[in-house]
Amino acid sequence: MNRFVPPVSGILLRRLALASIIANVGIVVTGGAVRLTASGLGCPTWPRCTDDSYVTTPEMGVYGVIEFSNRMLTFAVALIALATVLGVLAHRPRRPGLLALAVAVFLGIPAQAVIGGFTVLTNLNPWVVGLHFLASMGVIAAAYALWRRVGDPDGPTVAVVPAPLRALARVTTGVTVAVLVVGTWVTGSGPHAGDHGAARNGLDPESISQVHADGVFLLIGLSVALIFAFRAVGAQRATRAAIVLVAVELGQGLIGFVQYFTHVPALLVGAHMLGSCLVLLATLSVQWSTRERHSVAPAPQGTQTEAPTPVPVTA
């Protein structure tokens, strides 16, 4: 017997997509807590926690509990992503583009988990640890795109700012990605390796921190330029998004400078990791604000949708 599957409302679907963003940001922060408490090898192997057990053992102490708990959180994040995929499938009418984004988020979580496993198997190699963080950023970006797409109508995309400003927004997004990448190099050169015996990447911490700071200054300059440019063409929504971006960047920059001059305390490093996620989301918001989708216009009443039946002609 066929059962009726009630359609998932657009509001519920958008809440699921938002929950996916929050969950993926949360696991970045908890992953940072693993590293900052030197629990990165609390479970010394992967996918098992030890050679003989999939779960932590009392002999592994608090470090094993912290590392294993973070692994378990991955399943919770994956369940939210799976619920979002099922929500997209249940939604009526079917909407273009949603399923691909939902599946990308869902598949990105096990991919990120596998990279996390390689960080353990390589004894917290700093380059692999950095890749693990960047993979999480990719999943967050896909989750954000899904959340925005659910809230948009299904009509054609229309630019709301001139082409040069859209190009400037894309450049700003590219610089944001570069700043995040260099930030992982800074992390890999400094303390908080995740384990007291983990190697560092060999880069000079002071020099690579200066490169990172230069990138941040460039990013803030581009973002301020976006504010004035968007305001000049009357793009109010884009202007507000750019103002939020600058505010987030300044807060993140302040945390970065304070943590550098206070010898990188763990609490500020954790706040900086959260700030990185917020900078990415604010940048994506600016990118999204440069265009909008129009609703699909309904067919006018009385419009004939079928061809008339031909009338035979007699001589």
Residues 6+ apart with CB under 8 A from 305: 299
Do residues 224 and 245 make contact, with C-beta atoms less than 8 angstroms apart?
no
The alpha carbons of the chain give a radius of gyration, in whole angstroms, of: 24
- Please tell me the predicted confidence (pLDDT) of residue 6: 47
Does 127 lie in the same domain as 262? no
> Collapsing DSSP states into helix, strand and coil, what is residue 157?
strand
C-alpha 122, offset from chain centre: 25
Residue 184 lies in a domain: yes
- The answer on pLDDT for 296 being more than 80 is no
Does 59 lie in the same domain as 13? yes
Secondary structure percentages of the chain, helix, strand, coil, to 5: 70, 0, 30
Does 131 lie in the same domain as 193? no
Do residues 80 and 20 make contact, with C-beta atoms less than 8 angstroms apart?
yes
Considering 104, 133, 154, which residue would you say is the last residue of a domain?
154
Does 150 lie in the same domain as 11? yes
Q: pLDDT band at residue 284, thresholds of 50, 70 and 90?
A: very high
pLDDT tens, residue by residue, 55-73: 888 878 898 889 889 899 9
- Please tell me the predicted confidence (pLDDT) of residue 7: 52
Task: Give the amino acid at 88.
Answer: V
Considering 98, 126, 154, which residue would you say is the last residue of a domain?
154
Does 193 lie in the same domain as 128? no
Q: What's the whole-number mean pLDDT along residues 213-226?
A: 97
φ, ψ for residue 268 (rounded to 5)? -70, -35
Does 127 lie in the same domain as 205? no
- Please tell me the predicted confidence (pLDDT) of residue 114: 94
Does 174 lie in the same domain as 101? no
Q: What's the whole-number mean pLDDT along residues 139-163?
A: 91
Does 64 lie in the same domain as 43? yes
Residues 6+ apart with CB under 8 A from 299: 305
Does 103 lie in the same domain as 14? yes
Does 142 lie in the same domain as 253? no
How far is 196 from 178, CA to CA, in rounded Å?
Answer: 29
Count of domains forming the chain:
2
Q: Show the domain range for 138.
A: 7-154
Q: What's the whole-number mean pLDDT along residues 156-165?
A: 92
How far is 13 from 82, CA to CA, in rounded Å?
Answer: 12
What is the number of H-type helices and E-type strands within the chain? 8, 2
- Please tell me the predicted confidence (pLDDT) of residue 293: 81
